[in-house]
């Protein structure tokens, strides 16, 4: 079978053929300007990894690497059927793993058990250590993503769109980005090929991009989402939302780099992963202001 397009090229391909989702150049420039104003803030670095992951073990410990592997392996489909029935977790109840603080059951519990079992079997082949598992990639981000996808089927976030095999690899890429965040916290040096990472195409960041005017949904798609229609994984509209989000962030990054070069006379090291790390909590912080923009709902193990 023909190998799928990598995520960045997949995003470009989807944008070129999209029927219901569109990248808005003016909005792209506005978001890039917003990020330019924050370019020297810790919000646009990977060094604040521990702050962004307060429940994680200390990044100086290899337990942190195993922790992100477990968390990122289960990191999919946490949205509730009803907005007034959120599945809530507190620090105090964390010991009762995956048990909600209310009566709302954890979605897709059987699937989470399956992917954890899959991941555990792979790690057992490497002494139970995620670092040992990932070490053949030599800390090269592209090789890491390939290693994860090749060995863990639940990370193969792929689809067929307009007759072309594409990849989105949300969880594989965020796992590599979390590894990078730990390495940054340890000040252990650079990771090659970080710029191959795209944004992590889920449901929250696309909502933020629409709110900020960098993405636009057709009236038909907007009505579909407001009606609460469940989109299946691989549905054309679902792929367009995620693929166009990837390319939208790539364009934001490119414009941001141009701003830094033109105005500051410097190169910019803010990559797409960092932009995603900023936009996801931005969406959470501004959820009331963007409540009129529906998120898409897809029950799957990929995000």
pLDDT in tens, 9-40: 999 999 999 999 999 999 999 999 999 999 99
| pLDDT for the residue numbered 93 | 35
Q: Does a structural domain hold residue 292?
A: no
pLDDT in tens, 96-134: 566 767 777 778 888 888 888 899 999 999 999 999 999
Q: Does a structural domain hold residue 293?
A: no
Q: Does a structural domain hold residue 52?
A: yes
202 is catalytic: yes
What are the backbone dihedrals phi and psi of residue 293, each rounded to the nearest 5 degrees, phi first?
-100, 110
Q: Which residues of 259-297 are buried (b: 16+ CB within 10 A; e: fewer)?
A: bbeeeeeeebebbbbbbbbbbbebbeeeeeebeebbbbe
Q: Does a structural domain hold residue 301?
A: no
Find the catalytic residue in 72, 178, 202, 276: 202
Helix/strand/coil (H/E/C) assignment for every residue in the chain: CCCCECHHHHHHHHHHHCCCEEECHHHHHHHHHHHHHCCCCHHHCCCCHHHHCCCCCCCCCCHHHHHHHHHHHCCCCCCCCCCCCCCCCCCCCCCCCCCCCCCCCCCCHHHHHHHHHHHHHHHHCCCCCHHHHHHHHCCCHHHHHHHHHHHCHHHCCEEEECCEEEECCHHHHHHHHHHHHHHHHHCCCCCCCHHHCCCCCCCHHHHHHHHCCCEEECHHHHHHHHCCCECCCCCHHHHHHHHHHHHHHHHHHHHHHHHHHHHHCCCCCCCHHHHHHHHHHHHHHCCCCCCCCCCCECCCCCC
pLDDT in tens, 231-242: 999 999 999 999
Of 65-74, 98-107, 208-217, 240-249, minimum mean pLDDT range: 98-107
Q: What percent of the chain has pLDDT above 90?
A: 70
In this model, does residue 92 exceed pLDDT 60? Answer: no
Structure tokens at 298: 């897809």
Residue indicated by tokens 């166009």: 244
| pLDDT for the residue numbered 176 | 96
Of 47-51, 163-167, 190-194, 263-267, minimum mean pLDDT range: 47-51
| pLDDT for the residue numbered 84 | 58
In this model, does residue 243 exceed pLDDT 60? Answer: yes
In this model, does residue 91 exceed pLDDT 50? Answer: no
Instruction: Provide the number of structural domains found in the chain.
Output: 1
Q: Compute the radius of gyration of the chain from its Cα atoms.
A: 19
In this model, does residue 55 exceed pLDDT 70? Answer: no
Structure tokens at 137: 């990639």
Q: Which domain holds residue 237?
A: 7-285
Residue indicated by tokens 């992100």: 68
Q: Does a structural domain hold residue 35?
A: yes
Q: Does a structural domain hold residue 297?
A: no
Neighbours of 142 (CB within 10 A): 16
Residue in 31, 39, 28 with CA at minimum distance from that of residue 260: 39
Contact of 302 with 168, CB cutoff 8 Å: yes
pTM for the whole structure: 0.87
How far from the centroid of its chain's Cα atoms is residue 250's Cα? 14
Residue in 220, 214, 207 with CA at minimum distance from that of residue 292: 207
């Amino acid at each position: 079978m023909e190998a799928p397009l990598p995520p960045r090229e997949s995003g470009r391909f989807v944008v070129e053929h999209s029927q219901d989702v569109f990248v808005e150049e003016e909005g792209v420039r506005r978001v890039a300007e917003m990020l330019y104003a924050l370019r020297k803030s810790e919000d646009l670095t990977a060094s604040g990894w521990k702050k962004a992951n307060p429940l994680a073990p200390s990044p100086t410990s290899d337990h942190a690497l195993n922790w992100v592997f477990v968390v990122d392996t289960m990191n999919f489909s946490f949205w509730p059927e009803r907005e007034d029935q959120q599945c809530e977790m507190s620090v105090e109840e964390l010991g009762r793993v995956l048990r909600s603080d209310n009566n709302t059951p954890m979605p897709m519990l059987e699937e989470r058990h399956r992917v954890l079992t899959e991941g555990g079997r792979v790690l057992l082949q490497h002494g139970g250590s995620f670092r040992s598992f990932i070490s053949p990639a030599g800390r090269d981000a592209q090789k890491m993503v390939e290693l994860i996808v090749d060995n863990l089927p639940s990370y193969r976030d792929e689809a067929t769109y307009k007759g072309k095999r594409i990849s989105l690899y949300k969880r594989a890429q965020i796992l590599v980005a979390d590894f990078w965040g730990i390495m940054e916290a340890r000040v252990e040096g650079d990771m090659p090929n970080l710029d191959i990472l795209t944004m992590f195409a889920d449901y929250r960041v696309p909502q933020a991009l629409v709110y900020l005017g960098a993405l636009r949904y057709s009236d038909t798609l907007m009505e579909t989402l407001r009606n609460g229609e469940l989109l299946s994984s691989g549905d054309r509209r679902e792929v367009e939302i995620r693929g166009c989000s990837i390319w939208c962030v790539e364009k934001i990054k490119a414009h941001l780099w141009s701003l830094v070069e033109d105005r500051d006379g410097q190169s910019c090291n803010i990559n797409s992963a960092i932009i995603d790390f900023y936009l996801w909590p931005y969406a959470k912080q501004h959820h009331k202001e963007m409540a009129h923009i529906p998120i898409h709902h897809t029950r799957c193990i990929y995000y």
